[in-house]
Amino acid sequence: MDSVAPLPSSPRLIIDLDAVRTNYQLMAILSGTAKTGAAIKANAYGVGLERVAPVLARAGCASFFCAHLSEAMRARSVLGHEAEIFVLSGVSYGEAPLLRQKFLTPVLSTPEQIQLWREAGDGEPAALHIDTGMNRLGFDWHGFDPAMAEGLNLSLIMSHFACAADPDHAMNKIQLNRFSLIREAFPKVRASLANSAGILHGPETHFGLTRPGIALYGGAPLDTGGPALAPVARIEAPILQVRTLRKGENVGYAASFTAPRNMTIATVAIGYADGLPISASNHGFGRIDGHITPLIGRVSMDLSAFDVSLLPSTPEPGDMLSLLGKDLEALASASDTLSYELLTRLGPRFVRQYKGSSA
């Protein structure tokens, strides 16, 4: 046997595909009689579109939402021809032939896009995005003329909540009323309003199709409360070095941490190049053997330091520190960001391991 066993030196991202399926099934139950679609934009919220989309399809999902044509083409290549795939950014000049060829459905948001699809869509389905108050993307509900959609083969009209994470927010009811009003002009067309958070508001927001995203990936849809979701993504990062620190010594770039006492710290192979935000500096945390381990000093590109002074036993190089998992929301708020951003920034450098019977 070699005298030195190889130690792990780079972080892994472990994705639990069974957890994705479990979360989808929960969203489908909560969606009641509505069909349950899935937002798989941004590489399925960072966890891997090619692996996640087929799992969702096998769980019964037939409608997928991507942000851009390139994502939708990736989705089509793993989903086969049955799935309905929407492109939220719509259609731009030059994209129509590919959309048609791959049977992708543009979500139209401007008069120009309607015009383009009328001319180049060859009668293939399109969706219509109505902006009911978010003022982001879609036809302004106010003054919207349903005649604009004449000549289109509409398969869906949709809108999006601005404040669904707070079910008591007055915007929710306002947007629901505006959407319901517009919808009266399209009685035969399927309608969709609810994202993950919206699904939790109850049946009147469900219409024919719901569009959960974050909940599928284990992120909490609501600011507070909501159902328990299965954690999907966990980082396992190896300790590269264990150091002792004398009271008054500093840690990391800009010496932003000063030891208040003698300490033991671990330098771990995880940094902002992997998606751990700089804002986690001096605020984030990981776990070693389940014990909370505070992040100290500034997150660097490939490395971060963690205080291991208070652990029951001092870890060694090669031991693993874990991040995210069931701590996804806690790490996001400690880092002054959202689980959405933590997940979608998970870097390409990880070795990704997929587990579960669906893997």
Report the residue number whose CB is nearest to ligand PLP: 213
Binding-site member from 196, 267, 281, 293 for ligand PLP (CB under 6 A):
196
Question: Per-residue x/- mask for ligand PLP, residues 43 to 82, rule CB under 6 A?
Answer: ----------------------x-----------------
Residues 144 to 183 in contact with ligand PLP, rule: CB under 6 A: 160
Choosing from 35, 41, 45, 272, the catalytic residue is 41
Q: How far is the CB of 31 from ligand PLP (least distance, A)?
A: 12
Three-state SS string across the chain, please?
CCCCCCCCCCCEEEEEHHHHHHHHHHHHHHCCCCEECEECHHHHHCCCHHHHHHHHHHCCCCEEEECCHHHHHHHHHHHCCCCEEEECCCCCCCCHHHHHHCCEEEEECCHHHHHHHHHHCCCCEEEEEEECCCCCCCEECCCCCHHHHCCCEEEEEECCCCCCCCCCCHHHHHHHHHHHHHHCCCCCCCEECCCHHHHCCCHHHCCCEECCCHHHHCCCCCCCCCCCCCCCEEEEEEEEEEEEECCCCEECHHHCEECCCCEEEEEECCCHHHCCCHHHCCCCEEEECCEEEEEECCCCCCCEEEECCCCCCCCCCCCEEEEEHHHHHHHHHHCCCCHHHHHHCCCCCCEEEEECCCC
Residues 208 to 267 in contact with ligand PLP, rule: CB under 6 A: 211-215
Give the binding range for ligand PLP (CB under 6 A) out of 207-215, 284-292, 316-324, 346-354: 207-215
Choosing from 24, 45, 93, 253, the catalytic residue is 253
Give the binding range for ligand PLP (CB under 6 A) out of 16-24, 167-175, 195-203, 346-354: 195-203
355 is catalytic: no
When the beta carbons of 195 and 304 are compared against ligand PLP, the nearer one is 195
41 is catalytic: yes
Q: Does 39 engage in binding with ligand PLP (CB under 6 A)? A: yes
Binding site for ligand PLP (CB under 6 A): 39, 41, 65, 88, 160, 195-197, 211-215
Active site residue ranges: 41, 253
